[in-house]
Amino acid sequence: MKTYLVTGGAGFIGSNFVHYMLNKYNDIKIINVDKLTYAGNLENLKGCEQNPNYVFVQADICDKEAIEDIFKNYDIDYVVNFAAESHVDRSIKMPEIFVQTNVLGTVNLLNIAKNNWETKDGFKAGKKYLQISTDEVYGSLGKEGFFTETTPLNPHSPYSASKASADMIVKAYFDTFKMPINITRCSNNYGPYQFPEKLIPLLINNCLNKNELPVYGDGMNIRDWLYVEDHCKAIDMVLNEGELGRVYNVGGHNERTNIFIVKTVIQYIHDNVDSTVDESLIKYVEDRKGHDRRYGIDPTRIKDELDWYPETKFEVGIVKTIKWYLQNKEWMENVTSGTYQDYYKKMYNNK
């Protein structure tokens, strides 16, 4: 029975991963460690609490004692590090917390895993640390080309710079100590349980409340969209079969301009929910500082080596996603009001 230490498992991708794994396997144990920042929400894990193979621990990945205790209490085989400050706009306002969690938190996890897994004859068999990274570490593309695993790192925002720093530290633990690691770099995820500061759930929420839809700059920036369950499948494959020390890009050639996404959400809500919702809600606003123009992943390595492919076409995934938010309005209300907002204000001094 493999034991997974999943960090940030109460956030968007982490919670989808916990559900995916507990549904797929009944012979694994998951220890979910999450600090429960504004982005972490135990409601995302409804149904898991009853599973005897699931344990939740509220802790900060920077907390040495708390993480050491987990390694003392469980024989951890895999660390899957999702925990991060993940929102680019926030990193522009408050970079320090991004360095704290994304860089120092990663080093803390690596050190403790290494101390527990290393013997005088090398690392124990079957152990692996997986860093969940992002395509944003590569910077921005022009009209042509894609990010491959050998594209030089050229991050622009404090968020992506913190993720690139973490990647370099993880790589250093492989190069220096031969620690068993992998790094995955994924494009923009969408799906259930995404905090509505991110583009797609923000658009859905604002359409339903007839609020303006803020479009940064000219709306022609491009993101490469991946349905979150396809990402979870890739992570599972990399954990099981990824060659040690290797980086795997994860993405499915689903590039869309932001304005296309905005119009797609409006159209669905107009046709299926409220015919008074239309493009008059669109508001072009000041561009994000240092806004990356285009992301596009070349997933050849993960396809060729691990036979991974994304199953969900964007047109199918976006409808599934909008329907999920329509069916879970209470979730949306809870995360956009009350305790989560209070926590955010307190933590970030009302910035």
Catalytic residue numbers? 135-136, 159
Which of ligand NAD, ligand DAU, none does 130 bind, CB closer than 5 to 8 A by kind? none
Contact between residue 195 and residue 39 where contact means Cβ atoms under 8 Å apart: yes
**From CA 258, how far away is CA 277, in angstroms rounded?**
18
3-state secondary structure of 321: helix
Q: Does 215 bind ligand DAU (CB under 6 A)?
A: yes
Backbone angles phi, psi at 35, to 5 degrees: -75, -20
Residues 266, 278: contact at Cβ < 8 Å? yes
Q: Please identify which residue in 79, 105, 221, 268 interacts with ligand NAD, judged by CB under 6 A.
A: 105
Q: Which does 36 bind (CB under 5 to 8 A by kind): ligand DAU, ligand NAD, none?
A: ligand NAD
Q: What does 295 bind: ligand DAU, ligand NAD, none (CB cut-off 5 to 8 Å by kind)? A: ligand DAU
Residue 35 binds ligand DAU (CB under 6 A): no
Considering only the C-alpha atoms of the chain, give the largest distance between any 2 of them, rounded to a whole number of Å: 68
128 is a site residue for ligand NAD (CB under 6 A): no
Nearest to 12 by CA among 169, 227, 211: 227
- Residue selected from 48, 67, 80, 202 as contacting ligand DAU according to rule CB under 6 A: 202
Please tell me the distance from the alpha carbon of residue 98 to that of residue 136, in angstroms, as a whole number. 14
Q: Rounded to whole angstroms, how far apart are CA atoms 164 and 183? A: 11
- Nearest CB to ligand NAD, comparing residues 204 and 277: 204
Q: What are the two backbone dihedrals, phi and then psi, of residue 149, each rounded to the nearest 5 degrees?
A: -65, -15
Query: Contact region for ligand DAU (CB under 6 A) — 70-78, 110-118, 120-128, 132-140?
Result: 132-140
Check binding of 163 to ligand NAD (CB under 6 A). yes
Binding residues among 5-24 for ligand NAD as defined by CB under 6 A: 7-8, 10-14
Residue 12 contact, options ligand NAD, ligand DAU, none, Cβ 5-8 Å cut-off depending on partner type: ligand NAD
As given in the structure block, the two tokens for residue 328 are 């879970």
By CB under 6 A, tell whether 34 contacts ligand NAD: yes
Cα–Cα dist 105/251, whole Å = 26
- Residue 317 binding ligand NAD, by CB under 6 A: no
Question: Cβ of residue 187: shortest distance to ligand DAU, in angstroms?
Answer: 5
Question: How many angstroms separate the CA atoms of 273 and 250, rounded?
Answer: 33
Cα distance between residue 92 and residue 83, in whole Å? 19
To ligand NAD, the closest distance from the beta carbon of 40 in angstroms equals: 2
Q: Which residues bind ligand DAU (CB under 6 A)?
A: 86-88, 134-136, 187-188, 198-199, 202, 214-216, 221, 223, 258, 288, 295
